[in-house]
Chain A
Amino acid sequence: MIKEQGLYSPLNEHENCGAGFICSLTGKKTNKIIHDALNILVRLEHRGAVSSDGRTGDGAGILIEIPHDYFTSECKFDLPISGKYAVGMVFLPPKINQLNFCVQSFESEIKRQGLKVLGWRNVPINSKVVGKIASKSQPVIKQVFISSEDENIQEKELNTKVYVARKISENSIYQSELSQKNYYYFSSLHTRTLIYKGLLMPEDIERFYTDLSNPKLVTRLALVHQRFSTNTFPTWDLAQPFRYMCHNGEINTLKGNISRMTAREELINCDYIEKSDIEKLFPIILEGKSDSASMDMVVELLIMTGRSLPEIMMMLVPEAWEKHNSMSSKKKSFYEFNSCIMEPWDGPASIPFTDGNYIGALLDRNGLRPSRYSVTKDGYVIMSSETGVVNVDPKNIESHGRLEPGKMFLVDMNKGRIIKDEEVKSEVTSKYPYQKWVNDNILPLSKIPYTGNKTPAEEIDFETRLRIFGYTQEDFKTVILPMCVNAKEAIGSMGSDTPLAVLSNKPQLLYNYFKQLFAQVTNPPLDGIREEIVTDTSLAVGSDFNIFNINEKHAKKLKINNPIISNEDLDKIKFVKHKDFKSFTIPVLYDLNKGHNGIEQSLEKIVNEIEKKVDNDYNIIILTDRNVSKKKAPIPMLLACSTVHHYLIKKKKRSKFGIIIESAEPREPHHFSMLFGYGASAINPYLVNEIITYHHKKGIISGITRNKAIANYNKAIAKGILKVMNKIGISTLHSYRGSQIFEALGLRKKFVDKYFNNTPSRIEGVGLYVLEKEISERLNTAFNSELDINKLEMGGEYRWRRNGEKHMLNPTTISKLQQAVRSEKYETYKVYSDQINKQNEQLMTIRGLFKFVELDPINIDEVEPWTEIVKRFKTGAMSYGSISKEAHENLAVAMNRIGGKSNSGEGGEDPGRFKKDKNGDSRNSSIKQVASGRFGVSSYYLTNANEIQIKMAQGAKPGEGGQLPGPKVNPLIAKVRNSTPYVGLISPPPHHDIYSIEDLAQLIYDLKNANRSARINVKLVSKVGVGTIAAGVAKAKADVILISGFDGGTGASPLTSLKHAGLPWELGIAEAQQTLVLNDLRGRVVIECDGQMKTGRDVAIACLLGAEEFGFSTAPLVASGCIMMRACHLNTCPVGIATQDPELRKNFKGKPEHVINFMYFVAQELREIMASLGFRTIDEMVGQSQKLNMKDAVSHYKFKGIDLSKILYKPNVNESVSIRKTIDQDHNLDNVLDFKIYEEAKLSIEKKIKMNLDFNIKNTDRTVGAIISNEISKIHGEKGLPKDTLTINFKGSAGQSFGAFSAKGLKLVVEGNTNDYFGKGLSGATIVVKIPKESTFESDKNIITGNVTLYGATSGEAYINGIAGERFCVRNSGATAVVEGVGDHGCEYMTGGVALVLGKIGRNFAAGMSGGIAYILNEDLNKNHFNYEMIELETPDNQDIDLIKSLVEKHFSNTSSQIAEKIIKNWKLYKDKFIKVMPTEYKLALEKLAKEKINQIIN
């Protein structure tokens, strides 16, 4: 494993994977199961990844039953009967003395537990198959056999004892000084299960572990797994499966889970483990392991508590029970009770698990991983991420199923039967009287009586306190009041161009020194808006208890539904009189005259006091910053909260109390999120309440009561927090609490380690001294100011003010740039760029702190010409829709003229632009973006791209989807986007086909199929760990990786996201460059950089840090006339750029020349810098970070502590390792089935000749249809071929993305089944999947296609002879589909087309559906399953009925569906059994359009 260096940290690694199992229901043990299971991995190999050596996989393995007979014959020692001994699979250090030490240490622990070692067996291996990288860390592998001295020992007891022995020996060896201690690892140690795993390619497992091919080695079950890690430093021990489970997905809440688990250790106690041994088990979760490994270690412990494996899984990964309106109260009570013990381990997760007796799998509440299973008539269950991974004769299929969100699938190996979700859960939830326990003990806050205000009034007046806590009029106007009125956070636009907190001259709140982390690629952000049913913001406060005891005590908790609480609610808690709760309020103030020492002393006092109180059974601690005075200043609440949280974790007392905050500080969602993130359980923003009261009294908030205004504000904050949580993919505040998902930017590492332990901080910065200085400055000013609220500072964070925060784009820079590009004067541009560069130097950005090392200058004539340089320039992704047609085309024409690239943005593009204009100009955007909304993404669109960009995140709002406000969606834009005019569009936070890294690899593959000549570009946003993500993306075969800075622009984004999420690109580019070079992956990818790039100097720095292409957005817009109105979201842009108002658009004055002049100027300035540094070409310059130095001239008190050496770090690698792009990715397209089809279909495609072809298909045949469609689009354009010109019939299980982007004229028919993303981006083709003729199961009860069917389809037809998985027809904007049942979130975000469902629907149907129509067969339909926010249910009219009938008939003719047949035969009966789902706004729009048409006819 490579050590931490520069910005690279191994802690940032992520993983995702393919997993599966096979088991025999009849109990038949075979060796074939092993081969079949391993073959699953081979068939899932596209879900894994390979390192730069081409041999080292990210790790794979197999779990089987202990092959008792095999071992009896293989071992040279005697074994007792099965179940009376445990087998350990052990990794040991290669150094013999160290190996011996480990063996001895383990054996002595075994002895201490009263156990004995029966013997050791050397596991036969074939090292030749190991890859070069993996062989460097290959351990010695042995098996150890252990039984008890006590022959009557129960199996459970034996497993407990070996667990204790193993844990203790692990802890003692890891804490030793052994140089190879990290080798020591037990893959498994159990009486039932055994794991063979390693850093191997799936097909090599069997060749490496020769045991596995021995026919005598037999098992009833086999669980397999392979990793896809983001980088190439995976290790042997992190290969999966783990001892009880394996995991496909990512645990987003890991940090919080680990710290809560640590806190829980203090309470652990158990009858059957020696008290002295218990302490030696800690830490339960070993440091530095993967999320899945950590979870497995908790599962192990919970097994020891006597809970069953299914119960444990329900506890760790609960269903979304909180808002489930049809769940039984028994089950809800179970979940609620267990929520008092354990927070959810939240994130995308499909978790196969087994203890040898049970084997099963569980899916997270969002259903974010695919899990398909098949049961065969001859008694096998096959479960895997994809269907079709084991060849089964269709006749032999009993049923096909899938795991549903939050549901469990379990096989009882001993009884040989499948236990359904309801049955398992019913059994688990009946074990104790959970309902009674919950009712008797949980105390809802609303149940505490309010007895009047007891908090004394403040002595210092309101106005002064506003100043002490740094409020400005802008805070009122822009931040707080909109929330009071609208109950949601205000929206802003364009990027942030103010200095980082650490570089600002204005006193900053501590919150501003932290940036929110967010999900990209390795896990998806959630959509808390449309998928609200899985989210929850309630919290429970109180003491925790020993997890080994299962009793009602755990439920003694105070329950708060929205933990942003009013003054009244806080008073209730402060003065609560209840046997289970005792609260204590402690001020967090310090003596101003003692300065930063005062803060330290106060904090020390505070934690000591709290510790005492906690020892005296106080279980609610309220931290308050009330009662400030001239002498007593407030300690930053975040600092206080985190200090208390961490100190008491260290003291092992944290689980005994909850922290509640009473503070004047927090006002924005970011502030609140941080407090929760560092351990708070409820927050009362009392000063904001006073502010609201003031404005209400003055009549500025009118039309609602004061209480309503406060409630609105609290609600807005809760929604804002939800958004922040969702960004990182967390659904519940319960598991967000304490999860610390932030990065510090500009704080001293020492300070962060002390007070915010485990939070990354990479450029050093200020510490307590400066923070205190900022507080005292505020306090002094406050007490010296006039007591007039009108005279409060104006602000200037969001809109430029002279006295406010500095902005890089201000009147001077904007006017000078515009003057320069219009007058074509380089001198004027230099005035502009000097201003910007000088601003940088005045500490606004990190790059401002660098200075060039100008040692070997050359003549500028030797530098490559500007015309070459601008080919590397791009304009940013701004959609047609967010900006006007004029502005959008202006950029395209300009960039095409100079050979640069413009970007379509996510709004699709009018096909009229794909052909050149008469004057030779091209309005075609060279880069076509594919974002989560998939607006207008069709085969033809993709075919016309030189580069296709997958937007994983956007700088201005990473982790969130785009939004285009309704007024901007005029009919033309609606047409390009296939949506409804004037209905606002939200693109989902996640790409619904990318929940993990292997999904991204799949989309890259899809797009590469859709256009083989286009480069695939993946857009990421800078954050800690972006380097490892970039490595994963490089392994997923992206051609270009764009790293955006957090400060990039937007047409609309919540203010919190604009300011507080993501990092500057300097850190991101440097981390990506360093990590990719260390991985030897840099040579395969281009790195691109954007985010407030404005001058040649900016470009030069990005290049020296590792970028070779460069994007500009705001600056070319300014060149085209943008004056930074920041009204893009309002549609009122006065200069005709970010507006669709036809009158305002007339004001657009930009010309292509303006943009070209800007690009020329930047290139010219860059050339001057290149000459001064001695570079002739950009290629020479990439990554030469030694040419940068930290500026030493600047001497600002805040700046002194900053250390940029990590950014400038240049990894020490040998010369063969590229530091810039040198070779192309191998996209492995040679074996694509489409090429074979194309050979035969060529004539049909070219000459439109009707043709029918037959092929076999298997799950490794992915994205079938895309290449053919690309060829059709090239020849026939948008129109495609005449309908059904080319019909291709397939037999088998089709791989992912079957029919993706399939063009008109194609008809693709699968007899068998298909996987995820069926018909993704369907572009006019007809696609059919039907059950094989010989199959006997009922189509409407079995799953036939996977998740996310028809995602972003724009036209075409689909006939699905069975059930589809989750998110059927998501973002469908024009296709017609018939299906026999769908999972959760059906028709989500649909904007057009028709869906006919002839069966059941899952929960949350039609969420965010703003267009199109769905018809559903109304037979035992659960009406609670609809999301009614945007739709109404109607009875179909005659026209509808006709349509339904014709669709059913077509369905029948295409699939021979039995249900279709039944309906047709009984049409009279069925014709009234349909229900119509109609989006409200769609209906209005249709009516409006119809009227317009009538008017047209009349006129």
Chain B
Amino acid sequence: MGKLKGFIEYNRTDEKYLSVTERLKNYKEFTITPDQSEMVEQGGRCMDCGVPFCHSGCPLGNLIPDFNDAVYRKEWKLALDILHSTNNFPEFTGRLCPAPCESACVLGLINPPVSIEMIEKYIVERGFEEGWIKAKAPTKRTNKKIAVVGSGPAGLAAAQQLNSVGHTVEVFERDEKIGGLLRYGIPDFKLEKSIIDRRLTILEEEGVIFHVSKEVGTDIPVSELEKEFDIILLTGGATIRRKLPIKGHDLKGVVQAMDFLKHQNEVVDLKIDQQKNYSATSKNVIVIGGGDTGSDCIGTSNRHKAKSVTNFEILDKPSTDRTEENPWPYWPFTLKTSSSHEEGIERKWSIMTKEFIGDKNKNLTGIKTVAVDWKIDGDRRKLIEIEDSEKVWPCELALLALGFTGPEQDLFSSLNIDLDQTLKPLTKNYKTSNPKVFAAGDLRRGQSLIVWAISEGREAAYHIDKQLMGNTNLPSKIDGDLPSVK
């Protein structure tokens, strides 16, 4: 159970980074692997709570106290097994998750929480190093076939789960490579793509069949899938980007963040050369949207050596600490500073973009903004523009990181799936109104975290197997998710 007074004796340590100048030189990950002894101490900080809120806060239901304890006892293999029992891809979440577990950690009430995510990452990295993570093909095949449409984390997790119990799983991806947002949405400095490939090799060895550059509905007719497969699982993500339909939105230099990031990922992958319109070099860059994607754009722009990088967020600046309305253990809506922010950024809050300004050649030259205020109006907050606060910012590249509005609709109609008001599939236990079709991930849930995507994929797999076989030995996290503060 960790160390009895570890949480008093040891301080939290976080993963250390290379210096900003050093890391801006390339697109590689820049974390420094900690010593084993340090990891052991960090594991020893876990208090083995009677009610581990972290375990509830983690959408996967990671058995956090248990792997912390195993790490503390230096039982790395056991730790890995515990970790893998709830999470197919800890190497992804260990790098990318915003760690709701840590914000729910009981120790967080009094001290900085346990460095759960770091521990997670180094358990799995240790596993790869030691060669413990090997393909484990099923011993028997069930002759059931499942098509997974979309190869992001939800699809991959479902594929691995379903394959492990002997179903034949084929994954269809319209892009050239497998991975979805992991591959194309996350910059390499946060997730080197070899990390994805390392895992994909294992999935392939286990028997998962991948089809790339195959868009279902275009390259393969939906009817064919319906004929060939017992179950179709839709994990195509919530790919429709939110637009900013204001004056000047069609100027050259107004770029969707996802296009910008995808391009960069392809460049790093040496697939294509850097294109000028996607380059931030020597430009005044303004990233609109204060979320994680925005942050990735900032990191990328700085690596491009932009002239300046500025970030706009329409909401007001969050407090640095939890407020009374937002107590522990709920997800904290507090000011977050990412490693990309550290690399150089001017952040602006309560600012709304009113117009993109261009020259005659339709090149972006600036952005007109207005300051806003948020007034409480009953249960809601209302936006009020502040008079005489207009301002024009010089800008040659505007990156729109405004989030996603929902999934693409084409497949839904061809598969005859009922939708809810937000145009997402209506599901019960991940099953759509079409009994052969399941849905999971952002496509079902709306845009969310990787950890949720993996969770959705696993849970969908559980229900699919149950439907196919009558019962299932696949794990499920059951209930126990921490509720929202509201």
Docked-complex contact A811 and B473, CB < 8 angstroms: no
Closest to A798 in B: B50
B110 surroundings in chain A (CB, below 8 A): 1134-1135, 1144, 1147
Q: Are B475 and A803 in contact, CB atoms less than 8 angstroms apart?
A: yes
**Distance from A1002 Cβ to chain B, minimum over Cβ atoms (Å):** 40
Are B52 and A800 within 8 A (Cβ)? yes
Assembly CA distance A822 to B326 (angstroms): 11
Q: Is A271 in the interface zone, CB < 8 Å from B?
A: no
B428 CB, min distance to chain A CBs, angstroms: 19
Contact A822 B324 (CB under 8 A): yes
Are B5 and A810 in touch, CB under 8 angstroms? no
Task: Let me know if B18 is at the binding interface, CB within 8 A.
Answer: no
Say yes or no: is A799 at the interface (Cβ < 8 Å to chain B): yes
Contact call B56/A788, Cβ cutoff below 8 A: no
Contact of A791 among B4, B53, B85, B480 (CB under 8 A): B85
B480 to A811, Cβ gap below 8 A? yes
Q: When the two chains form their complex, are residues B480 and A809 in contact, meaning their CB atoms are under 8 A apart?
A: no
Interface size on B, residues (CB 8 A): 47
CB interface residues, A 747-787, toward B, < 8 Å: 781, 784-785
**Residue A117 lies at the interface, judged by CB distance under 8 Å to chain B:** no
Q: Which of B107, B324, B329, B480 contacts A823 (CB 8 A)?
A: B324
Contacts A781-B473, A784-B473, A803-B61; A1132 near B5 (Cβ below 8 A): yes
Which of B73-81, B141-149, B211-219, B226-234 lies at the binding interface?
B73-81
Q: Which residues of A contact B81 (CB under 8 A)?
A: 788, 790-791
Cα distance A477–B104 when bound, in Å? 24
> Is A103 close to B, CB under 8 A?
no
Q: From residue B111, how far is it (CB to closest CB) to chain A in Å?
A: 8
Q: Is the CB of A809 within 8 A of B51?
A: yes
Contacts of A1123 in B (CB 8 A): 49, 51, 53, 106, 109
Partner of A811, one of B78, B82, B482: B482
Q: Which residues of chain A are near B324, meaning CB under 8 Å?
A: 822-823
Find residues 37-54 in chain B having any chain A CB closer than 8 Å to their own CB: 47-53
On chain B, the residues within 8 Å of A801 by CB distance are: 52, 55, 63
Are the C-beta atoms of B485 and A819 separated by less than 8 Å?
A: yes
Partner of A1132, one of B4, B61, B77, B329: B4
* Residues of B contacting A818 in the complex (Cβ-Cβ under 8 angstroms): 327
> From residue A1349, how far is it (CB to closest CB) to chain B in Å?
41
Residue A794 is within 8 A (CB to CB) of chain B in the complex: yes
The contact of B50 among A473, A494, A791, A822, by CB within 8 Å, is A494
Q: How far is the CB of A233 from chain B (nearest CB, A)?
A: 45
Contact between chains at A1134 and B109 (CB < 8 Å): yes
Considering residues A788, A802, A1123, A1127, which has the most beta carbons from chain B within 10 angstroms of its beta carbon? A802
Which single member of A794, A799, A1143 contacts B48 (CB below 8 Å)?
A799
Contact of A822 among B327, B476, B478 (CB under 8 A): B327
* A810 contact set on B, CB distance < 8 A: 51, 56, 480
Which residues on A sit within 8 Å (CB–CB) of B107?
Answer: 1134
Interface string of A1136-1153 (1 = CB under 8 A from B): 000000011001000000
Interface residues of B in 1-59 (CB under 8 A from A): 1, 4-5, 7-8, 47-53, 55-57
A-facing residues in B442-486 (Cβ within 8 Å): 473, 475-480, 482-483, 485
How far is it, in angstroms, between the C-alpha of A1124 and the C-alpha of B81 when the chains are bound? Answer: 27
What residue of chain B has the Cβ atom nearest to residue A819's Cβ?
A: B327
> With A494-B50, A1126-B50 given, is the CB distance from A802 to B66 under 8 Å?
no
Question: 0/1 per residue, A804-846, Cβ < 8 Å to B?
Answer: 0001011110111011001100000001000000000000000
**CB–CB B327/A794 < 8 A:** no
Query: Does B65 interact with chain A (Cβ within 8 Å)?
Result: yes
Which residue on chain A has the smallest CB distance to residue B54?
Answer: A811
Q: Are B57 and A811 in contact (CB under 8 A)?
A: yes
Chain A residues with CB below 8 A from B475, complex form: 803
Flag if B109 contacts A1135 (CB, 8 Å): yes
A1130 at the interface (CB under 8 A from B): yes
The verdict on B438 contacting chain A, using a C-beta distance below 8 Å, is no
A799 in contact with B49 (CB, 8 Å):
yes
Q: Report the separation of the CA atoms of residues A1144 and B5 in the bound assembly, to the nearest whole angstrom.
A: 11
Residue ID in chain A nearest B82 by CB atoms = A790
Give the residues in chain B near A816, CB-CB below 8 Å: 483
Interface size on A, residues (CB 8 A): 42
**In the complex the two chains form, what is the Cα distance from A1107 to B336 in whole Å?**
52
Contacts of A794 in B (CB 8 A): 63, 66, 82
- Asked if A790 and B49 make an inter-chain contact with CB atoms under 8 angstroms apart, the answer reads no
For residue A1126, which residue of chain B has the nearest CB?
Answer: B50
Known: A1134-B7, A1135-B109. A811 touches B53 (CB 8 A): yes
How far does the Cβ of A852 sit from chain B's closest Cβ, in whole Å? 26
Is B106 a contact partner of A1134 (Cβ separation < 8 A)? yes
Judge whether A11 is part of the interface by a CB distance below 8 angstroms: no
Cα–Cα, bound, A1154→B284 (Å)? 53
Determine whether A1249 belongs to the interface, using a CB cutoff of 8 Å to chain B.
no
CA distance A801 to B73 in the complex (A): 20
CB-defined contacts of A800 to chain B, threshold 8 Å: 50-52, 55
Contact A802 B477 (CB under 8 A): yes
Interface string of A1410-1439 (1 = CB under 8 A from B): 000000000000000000000000000000
Given the complex, which residues of A lie within 8 Å of B329, measured CB to CB? 811, 815
Asked whether B330 is an interface residue with its Cβ less than 8 Å from the other chain, the reply is yes
Q: Does A81 contact B (CB under 8 A)?
A: no
Residues of A within 8 A of B106 (CB): 1123, 1125, 1134
A418 → chain B closest CB, angstroms: 60
Selected from A473, A700, A784, A1147, the residue in CB contact (under 8 A) with B66 is: A473
Q: Is the CB of A1124 within 8 A of B50?
A: yes
Contact A1125 B49 (CB under 8 A): yes
* A802 contact from B55, B78, B325, Cβ within 8 A: B55
Residue of B nearest to A811 (CB): B56
From A1136, which residue of chain B is reached at the shortest CB distance? B110
B70 to chain A, nearest CB (A): 9
B77's partner among A790, A815, A1144 (CB-CB below 8 A) is A790
Q: Which residues from chain B contact A477 at a C-beta distance below 8 Å? A: 1
Q: Which residues of B contact A798 (CB under 8 A)?
A: 50
Nearest opposing residue in chain A for B75, CB measure: A700
The reply to whether B479 and A1127 form a contact with Cβ atoms under 8 Å apart is no
- How many whole Å from A855's CB to the nearest CB in chain B? 34
By a CB distance below 8 angstroms, the chain A residues around B77 are 790
| Neighbouring A residues of B51 by C-beta, 8 Å | 799-800, 807, 809-811, 814, 1123-1126
Q: A803 contacts B477, CB within 8 Å?
A: yes
Chain A 1165-1201 interface mask (CB, 8 Å, partner B; 1/0): 0000000000000000000000000000000000000
Name the residue in B50, B77, B106, B485 with the highest tally of chain A Cβ atoms < 10 Å from its Cβ.
B50
Are A802 and B48 touching (Cβ within 8 A)? no
The smallest beta-carbon distance between B263 and chain A, in angstroms, is 41
Q: When the two chains form their complex, are residues B73 and A802 in contact, meaning their CB atoms are under 8 A apart?
A: no
In contact, A799 and B65 (Cβ under 8 angstroms): yes
Query: CA of A450 to CA of B214 in the docked complex: distance in angstroms?
Result: 71
Q: B304-339 CB contact bits vs A (8 Å, 1 = yes)?
A: 000000000000000000001101111000000000
Q: Is the CB of B52 within 8 A of A799?
A: yes
- In angstroms, Cα B486 to Cα A831, docked, is 10
Task: Write the nearest CB–CB distance from B142 to chain A, whole angstroms.
Answer: 13
Q: With the chains together, A331 CA to B325 CA distance in Å?
A: 76
CB-based closest 5 A-B pairs: A1126-B50, A811-B56, A790-B81, A802-B480, A1124-B51
**What are 27 A-B contacts defined by CB distance under 8 Å?**
A473-B66, A784-B473, A790-B78, A798-B50, A799-B52, A800-B50, A802-B55, A802-B478, A803-B61, A807-B51, A811-B482, A812-B56, A812-B483, A814-B51, A814-B53, A815-B483, A816-B483, A822-B324, A823-B325, A1123-B109, A1125-B51, A1126-B49, A1134-B47, A1134-B110, A1135-B109, A1135-B110, A1144-B110
Known A-B contacts: A809-B51, A1135-B110. Give 9 more (CB < 8 A): A794-B63, A794-B82, A799-B48, A800-B50, A811-B57, A815-B53, A1127-B49, A1132-B47, A1144-B110
**Chain B interface (Cβ < 8 Å from any Cβ of A):** 1, 4-5, 7-8, 47-53, 55-57, 61, 63, 65-66, 73, 75, 77-78, 81-82, 85, 104, 106-107, 109-110, 324-325, 327-330, 473, 475-480, 482-483, 485
